Copies of this chain bind each other. A is one copy, B any other.
Amino acid sequence: MEPDAEDRIGGIAVVRSVAALRRVVAGWRQAGRSVALVPTMGALHAGHLALVARAAALADRVIASIFVNPTQFAPHEDFARYPREEATDAAKLAASRCDLLYAPPLEEMYPANFTTTVSAGAIAEGLCGRFRPGHFAGVATVVAKLLQQSRCDLACFGEKDYQQLQIVRRVARDLDMPVRIEGVATVREADGLALSSRNAYLSPAERKVAPALHRVLSETAARIIRGEAVAASAAAGAAALAEAGFTKVDYLEICDAETLTPLQQLGRPGRVLAAAWLGRTRLIDNVPL
C-alpha cells in the first residue's frame, strides 16, 4: 500500500521529494491502480477529509499533499501565522482513506532559479483576484506543479474556494493536462459557517457573527430566484453583511458559475460569492444560484 515511502508519521506513509513521490506512484501504476490527489495547505478539518473521502470513492489510491505555498500569500498576508500542525494532520490522514502524505519542503517545490508562472487570465482577475493580486497565479502555478509531480488521474478541490476551483479547471483544460478536476461540496458547521483553517483566527465574538456570511449568501440567492434584480440583491446582501457585524465587505457578487463573469440574467448556472472581514480575518463563501 505504501511501497518505498521514506518514512511514516502518525501512522501514515510520508514522502518529501518529487522522486520519492514518483516512485510510489509508479508502483501503483504498475499494479494498475488509479491515483487521486488532494492538495492542501494542512491544518486539516472535516472539509479536507471530505475531499479525501471523495478521492477514495473515485480512485484506487489517494495522496494528500501538505504545502503552505508562499507564492499565493501577498507580503502583508498571513503566511507566517498560517497554522502548521503536521503531526495532527498526519494522524487525521492515517484515520482516513488516504494512502500517502506528500509534504515537500520549500526547496523541493521552488529550487534555485525558479521563475515560471502559470496565469489563468481574466477568470483570476475579478472577485478575490481583485483584492489579492498574485494570489491565483501562485495557486495556479503550485497546482500545475503538484499535478505534474504526482501525474494523478484526478484531483479534488473544495467548492468553498470556488474561484480557485474554476481556475484550476481552466488551467488543467487549457494546458491539456490529462487529469479530472473534481469539485466537492463545502462542509459547514451546524450554524452554516463553512469550514476553513482560517476560522481558528476568529475570536469568540467574531465566531458568533461568522455564520451570517452563509446566511446572507443564501438569502441573496433566494431573492434572485424570486425574481429580484441582480444588482439590487447584491447591494442588499453587502449591506446585510455590514449590518451583521462584518467589519469590511470586499465583494458580494453574482457570477456565471463557470466563467465567473458578472451574471446579467438567469438562464445559465450562477453562483453568489462573497469575501468579508471580521477584524484581521478574511472569510469567503459561496452558494449556487
Contacts and interface: CB of A to CB of B under 8 A. Distances in A.
Given A176-B18, A176-B148, A177-B148, A170 B122 contact: no
A118 B120 contact: no
A174 B114 contact: yes
Contact of A119 (B117, B175, B177, B259): B117
A69 interface: no
B178 A116 contact: no
A172 to B, nearest CB: 9
User: Could you say which of A118, A120, A140 has the most chain B C-beta atoms within 10 Å of its C-beta?
Assistant: A118
A171 interface: yes
Interface string A162-187: 00000000110111111000000000
A117 B170 CA distance: 11
Instruction: Count copies of this chain in the complex.
Output: 2
Nearest to A148: B176
Contact of A122 (B115, B122, B178): B115
Interface string A110-144: 01011111111111000000000000000011001
A180 to B, nearest CB: 14
A33 interface: no
A176 B151 CA distance: 10
A170 B115 contact: yes
13 contacts: A18-B176, A114-B174, A115-B120, A115-B170, A115-B174, A116-B119, A116-B120, A116-B170, A117-B121, A118-B118, A118-B175, A144-B175, A148-B178
Interface of A: 18, 22, 111, 113-123, 140-141, 144-145, 148-149, 151, 170-171, 173-178, 259
Lowest 4 CB-CB distances: which A-B pairs, in order?
Answer: A115-B121, A116-B174, A148-B176, A149-B176
